[in-house]
Amino acid sequence: MNFITSTLAIVSKDIHSELRTRYAMNALLMFIVTSVATILFALREDEVSTEVLSGMFWVVIFFTAMSGLSRIFVSEEERGTTMALQLVASPSAVYFGKLIFNCGLTLALSSAVTILYLVAFPMFVIKSMAIFILTIFLGSIGFAAAATIIAAIIAKANTKGTLYPVLSFPILIPLIMTVMKSTARALDGEIFTTALGEFQILASYLMIMIAGSYLLFDYVWKE
Amino acid sequence: MCEFLNQNQMYIVLVITLIIWSGIIWYLVRIDKKVGQIEKRLKKD
Amino acid sequence: MRFVKHSAIAFITFVILAGIAIPIVPQPQGWLEFPIIPGLEEKVRSIFFHVPMAWASVLGFLSALYYGFRYLQTKDFDYDIKSVSSAGLGMMFCILATVTGSIWAKFNWGSFWNWDPRETSIFILLLIYGAYFALRSALSSDEVRARLSAVYSILAGLTAPFFIFVMPRIVGGLHPGAKGDTAGSTPVAQLHMPPNMRFVFIVGLVGFSLLFVWLLDMRVRIARIEYQISLKEN
């Protein structure tokens, strides 16, 4: 199979297995709902600054991502299908396939959190829609990019669950810091051009992460 | 000498630091020699 | 190697002598007097010791990264030994840098921690080291452990430029006052110091780097011996 067909095949395989069990999606959704509910109880009617709101927004996304995104590789190990995958597809196809799947998952995740926030917090008003949408888009893809390669790394480890956030957090810090700043701008209603600096950082983070992961994936995947 | 040290108290800090530092260096050199000996023994076997 | 050891001892002894004994006076004359920097006064002497700690921790990370990269190239296990030894040493210096910096911050800026860009980046370096060792302890096979920790160190290194070049622009926190302007948020900074202070400072940086090389050499030798013994036992 050539590169694109195998990549897309992997994406559709993952989508189908997720839809079949719906296990991951339900767990993630419940995770999001419970986190937002906890924050809601903590805040009640209090007025919070946009920085804090933006920070909490991404905290929920970060932890949800940490509980959900490692599944693409860990499930392969658990089901024993890793070797089959190694034989059938080239490493690059596997990487990009998993990456695309994770991007989709993270985008869905962030949209869910956005909707929940809009519903639950009256003070969560998105004044600059353009900034917000671009931030969510770039931020989610950036999350997925870093999370995918780390997921591949911990798939072979012993204590996968707790190791995943430990490894991912230092790598994700640049992304998280930038994205929180940018979201705060969106909540404040600033004009698009003020966030250009952040978008540049997000775009370069994306590119560096994907390029680096692509080059390093061979060493992680093959014995 | 004690009067000098009481006037320029920085030198008390200096003396303490030098003592600590020489202790560390003595320990380092000792370990270095020990490791060298072990390496020689391993080479013989 | 002997040159490294002797120079390390000589340079650091010099820095201890010069850094602590040279008096700080209002009108410094010549080479044996330091100026008073408002806000710092005597505490400025910490610079000669605290900054080299941070510099050594960065050295540790860079060496771990380099040796990891070489391992991936050659699959020679000796590189993995060097990589993990560098990382361990780097972590020790990182802890020392954070602790000494925190104590200095308490007396200079009022609190033990301020999330100033440089403080944040040394903290992140600590996290990276912690993650590196957490990863290693979770992998049982020698080969897998060497391979994956090398990959992780490279990944972590990819994010480093962000902290060096970008973060100061975003966070723009309180810059360590008398240290002057900074080139970035790593320990490497442009410092406006009078020439005699700068000389002692550079000697300190070089001396502690040499000490790092010596300590690394010792750790590697010991690790190699342990590895050989474990091979013989199996």
Cβ–Cβ below 8 Å for B35 and C225 = yes
CB C151 within 8 A of CB A201: no
Number of domains in chain B: 1
C123 vs A124: CA distance, rounded Å: 31
Of the CA atoms within 13 Å of residue C177, those in its CB half-sphere come to 12
Q: Chain C residue closest to A205 (CA)? A: C159
Is the pLDDT assigned to residue C216 strictly greater than 90?
yes
Is the pLDDT assigned to residue C173 strictly greater than 70?
no
Average per-residue pLDDT for chain C: 84
State the count of interchain CB pairs (< 8 A) between B and C: 36
% of chain C surpassing 70 pLDDT: 89
CB A121 within 8 A of CB A53: yes
Q: Residue A75, by phi and psi: left (phi above 0), alpha (psi -120 to 50) or beta? A: alpha
Distance from CA of C175 to the nearest CA of B (A): 28
B39 belongs to a structural domain = yes
A64 vs A176: CA distance, rounded Å: 14
Cβ–Cβ below 8 Å for C20 and B21 = no
C121 vs C117: CA distance, rounded Å: 6
Q: What is the mean pLDDT of residues A109-113?
A: 91
B12 belongs to a structural domain = no
Cβ–Cβ below 8 Å for A171 and C148 = no
Nearest by CB to residue A169, choosing from C127, C138, C152, is: C127
Q: Amino acid identity, residue B26?
A: W
Interchain CB contact of B19 with C (< 8 Å): no
ipTM of the complex: 0.88
Distance from CA of A162 to the nearest CA of C (A): 10
Distance from CA of A20 to the nearest CA of C (A): 31
Give me the sign of the Cα torsion angle A206, A63, A28, A132: negative
CB A68 within 8 A of CB A24: yes
Least confident of A23-27, A137-141, A196-200, C214-218: A23-27
Domain boundaries, chain A: 3-221
pLDDT of residue B35: 92
pLDDT, one tens digit per residue, over A11-58 is 888 888 888 877 778 888 899 999 988 988 888 777 788 888 889 999
Domain of residue B39: give its range: 20-45
C65 vs C73: CA distance, rounded Å: 12
C5 vs A30: CA distance, rounded Å: 59
pLDDT, one tens digit per residue, over A112-132 is 999 998 888 887 888 888 889
Is the pLDDT assigned to residue C66 strictly greater than 60?
yes
Cα–Cα separations (whole angstroms), residue C222 to A175, C83, C139 = 39, 14, 22
pLDDT, one tens digit per residue, over A47-94 is 788 888 889 999 999 999 998 888 888 888 777 788 888 888 888 888
Average per-residue pLDDT for chain A: 87
Question: Which pLDDT band, with edges at 50, 70 and 90, does C192 fall under?
Answer: low
Interchain CB contact of C218 with A (< 8 Å): no
Question: Which pLDDT band, with edges at 50, 70 and 90, does C209 fall under?
Answer: very high
Q: What is the mean pLDDT of residues C32-55?
A: 83
Mutation site for C-interface testing, chosen from B35, B38, B43 by largest number of C Cβ within 10 Å: B35
String of b and e for A159-197 (b: at least 16 CB within 10 Å)?
A: ebeebbbbbbbbbbbbbbbbbbbbbbbbbbeeeeeebee
pLDDT of residue C213: 95
pLDDT, one tens digit per residue, over B1-45 is 677 766 777 788 888 888 999 999 999 999 999 999 998 988 887
B8 belongs to a structural domain = no
B29 belongs to a structural domain = yes
Pick the more confident residue, C68 or C186: C68
B35 belongs to a structural domain = yes
pLDDT of residue A144: 93
> Do the two chains A and C touch, given a threshold of 8 Å on CB pairs and at least 3 pairs?
yes
Is the pLDDT assigned to residue C179 strictly greater than 60?
no
Domain boundaries, chain C: 2-18+50-233
Interchain CB contact of C197 with B (< 8 Å): no
pLDDT of residue C132: 95
